[in-house]
């Protein structure tokens, strides 16, 4: 394990390097969703959901669907559909023991992001799930998030990463397909092409 010197271990050490945030930053935090948050969530087609188990082991799960897929039930409540996946259910396993979650909403081409944190529960309410149906298929579960804090994050990370500038996207040559990573990680008795056919079929038949 790599060892490092000059570790920051106290808040006093941290704030000796980074000054306290200005009032302009601290006052932007909301305890409920305002109209700007609602507009952003309504146009977002991709979000990240962070959760942790009772021991503090953290997971971040990507979620994507047509824009507006996360429903705003009221100014303090969001509903996230759970689409077919690999049945690991890491986020929901975590929520059952530690309901605290963090969300980041993105809109392609928009450099700002929206950060939301709160407390989550899991529901199988039929009316809610049916309202989230796509291609005639309703999700089996949804994650409800009780909003405790929401604020917009500035553009600097997007500007630095050039995330929405295709002319700056990296060359993908040499990167493995998902199938290869699965075969290698699991030491599977399948060829990459065999595994790739399984992955592609799953994407085609179990998207919803």
The Cα–Cα gap between 62 and 94 comes to 15
The pLDDT of residue 156 is 96
Q: DSSP per residue over 54-89, as a string?
A: TT--EEEEEEE-STT-SEEEETTEEEEEE-S--S--
Residue span(s) of the chain under CATH 2.30.110.10 come to 14-161
Q: Name the average pLDDT for the chain.
A: 96
- How confident is residue 113, by pLDDT bands cut at 50, 70 and 90? very high
The pLDDT of residue 1 is 78
The Cα–Cα gap between 89 and 100 comes to 16
The pLDDT of residue 139 is 97
Who contacts 179 (Cβ-Cβ below 8 Å, separation ≥6)? 192, 193, 195, 196, 198, 199
Q: What does DSSP assign to residue 20?
A: P
Reported as a single tens digit per residue, the pLDDT across 17-27 is 999 999 988 99
The pLDDT of residue 2 is 84
Q: Give the CB-side neighbour count of residue 129, counting CA atoms within 13 A.
A: 15
Buried b (16+ CB within 10 A) or exposed e, 117-135: bbebeeeeeeebbeebeee
Residue 172 token pair? 């993908």
Reported as a single tens digit per residue, the pLDDT across 144-180 is 999 999 999 999 999 999 999 999 999 999 999 999 9
Reported as a single tens digit per residue, the pLDDT across 49-104 is 999 999 999 999 999 999 999 999 999 999 999 999 989 999 999 999 999 999 99
The Cα–Cα gap between 172 and 84 comes to 27
Alpha-carbon radius of gyration of the chain: 20
Who contacts 135 (Cβ-Cβ below 8 Å, separation ≥6)? 208
Reported as a single tens digit per residue, the pLDDT across 122-143 is 999 999 999 999 999 999 999 9
Average pLDDT of the segment spanning 7-24? 94
Q: What are phi and psi of 35, to 5 degrees?
A: -65, -30
14-161 belongs to which CATH class? Answer: mainly beta
The pTM of the full predicted model, rounded to 2 decimals, is: 0.93
User: Which 3 state secondary structure label does DSSP give 36?
Assistant: helix
């Amino acid at each position: 394990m790599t060892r490092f010197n000059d570790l920051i271990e106290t808040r006093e050490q941290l704030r000796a390097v980074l000054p306290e945030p200005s009032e302009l930053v601290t006052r932007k935090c909301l305890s409920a969703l305002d109209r700007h948050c609602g507009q952003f969530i309504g146009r977002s087609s991709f979000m990240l959901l962070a959760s942790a188990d009772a021991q503090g082991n953290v997971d971040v799960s990507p979620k994507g669907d047509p824009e507006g897929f996360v429903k705003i039930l009221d100014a303090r409540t969001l509903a996230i559909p759970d689409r077919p996946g690999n049945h690991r259910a890491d986020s929901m396993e975590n929520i059952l023991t530690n309901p605290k979650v963090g969300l980041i909403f993105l809109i392609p081409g928009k450099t700002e992001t929206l950060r939301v944190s709160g407390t989550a529960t899991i529901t199988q309410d039929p009316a809610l799930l049916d309202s989230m149906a796509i291609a005639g298929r309703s999700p089996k579960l949804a994650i409800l998030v009780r909003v405790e804090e929401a604020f917009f994050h500035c553009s600097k990370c997007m500007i630095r990463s050039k995330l929405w500038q295709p002319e700056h996207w990296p060359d993908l040559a040499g990167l493995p397909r998902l199938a290869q990573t699965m075969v290698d990680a699991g030491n599977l008795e399948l060829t990459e092409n065999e595994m790739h056919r399984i992955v592609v079929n799953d994407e085609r038949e179990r998207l919803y």
